[in-house]
């Protein structure tokens, strides 16, 4: 696949898996809410992520955890724009790092792009604010489009569903949503194919088993959409359920996150959105070394 095309003349080569560092400028995100309470805190976290090897920073001003409350555009802008501006004004390697804005609102996306962001990460895939698609097209920004079964205020943690939120094969529903609704809407808004990544929405309206199915069916998603796939499983509840077999806290889920992230990379995901950058960089280095050491297949 060609490089992922971003705004401002930036590109990311996704011929091998890369890491996207999560920077939540929020008080209520499920894992790290409140940790980046100032611009200085966020700038330091960004510097650590870049030093560890992150290929892009994903900055958000609204939590999308199950049960979260909506944050108005003005408040999201107040939270994220000073952080983006500080990164761009920092100098050196940090100032040049690609940045995506995690939002469903075109007003927030526009303010972020004006401040130096290069991509938009929309968990609603343009459903909440269709203008975000035409904005991405006009600005030639990278665009991550995610599938979700339910909006956050109606959602539940994956290991809390007593019955599946929707029946049938989840991978086929995701593929159908991308090929019949999400991608056609983006193309109709003049978004270029090379600007788009797809995100199957792990943890968003899916049960534990359905999330695992989506990881395994990543090759089918890639084949159907002809798009790189983002993996967004870091520290989520289903990871704790399968790795620890019990209720757990997000900070207990690193080992399970690493295992499933590497599996997802093996299944074809090429951008891993994670809280723990350095361990993922190390795990991917080991995976790449093993791949390069494999003997060539005989003809």
Q: Which one-letter DSSP state was computed for residue 251?
A: G
CA distance 13 to 5: 9
CA distance 97 to 273: 15
119-122 and 99-102: which strand pairing? parallel
CA distance 106 to 122: 10
Q: What is the per-residue DSSP string for 148-197?
A: -SS-GGG---GGG-SS-SS-S-HHHHHHHHIIIIIHHHHHHTT--GGGEE
CA distance 247 to 160: 10
Catalytic residue among 10, 139, 236, 267: 236
Contact 100, 119 (CB under 8 A): yes
Active site annotation includes 167: no
What are the C-alpha distances in Å from 177 to residues 62, 110, 224?
Answer: 24, 26, 11
* Paired strand residues for 20: 56, 273
What are the C-alpha distances in Å from 43 to residues 97, 101, 243?
Answer: 12, 15, 32
Catalytic residue among 148, 241, 267, 273: 273
Active site annotation includes 227: no
Nearest by Cα to 121 from 98, 140, 94, 142: 142
Structure token digits, residue 29:
């995100």
Contact 36, 24 (CB under 8 A): yes
Q: Which one-letter DSSP state was computed for residue 229?
A: B
State the catalytic residues.
Answer: 236, 273
């Amino acid at each position: 696949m060609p490089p992922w095309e971003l705004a401002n003349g930036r590109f990311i080569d996704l011929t091998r898996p890369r890491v996207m560092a999560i920077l939540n400028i929020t008080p209520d995100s499920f894992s790290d809410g409140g940790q980046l309470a100032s611009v200085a805190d966020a700038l330091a976290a960004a510097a650590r992520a870049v030093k560890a090897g992150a290929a892009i920073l994903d900055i958000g001003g609204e939590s999308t955890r199950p049960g979260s409350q909506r944050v108005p555009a003005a408040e999201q802008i107040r939270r994220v724009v000073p952080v983006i501006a500080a990164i761009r004004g920092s100098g050196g390697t940090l100032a040049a790092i690609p940045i995506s804005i995690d939002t469903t609102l075109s007003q927030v996306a526009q303010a972020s792009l004006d401040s130096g962001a290069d991509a938009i990460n929309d968990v609603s895939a343009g459903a909440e604010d269709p203008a975000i698609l035409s904005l991405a097209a006009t600005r030639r920004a990278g665009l991550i489009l995610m599938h979700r079964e339910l909006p956050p205020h109606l959602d539940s943690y994956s290991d809390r569903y007593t019955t599946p939120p929707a029946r049938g094969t989840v991978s086929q529903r995701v593929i159908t949503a991308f090929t019949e609704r999400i991608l056609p809407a983006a193309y109709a808004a003049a978004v270029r194919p090379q600007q788009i990544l797809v995100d199957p929405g792990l943890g968003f309206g899916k049960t534990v088993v359905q999330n695992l199915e989506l990881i395994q069916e990543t090759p089918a998603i890639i084949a159907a959409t002809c798009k790189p796939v983002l993996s967004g499983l870091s520290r989520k509840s289903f990871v704790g359920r399968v790795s620890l077999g019990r209720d757990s806290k997000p900070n207990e889920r690193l080992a399970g996150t690493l295992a499933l992230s590497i599996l997802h990379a093996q299944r074809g995901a090429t951008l891993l959105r994670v809280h723990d950058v350095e361990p993922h960089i190390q795990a991917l280095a080991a995976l790449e070394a093993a791949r390069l050491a494999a003997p060539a297949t005989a003809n």
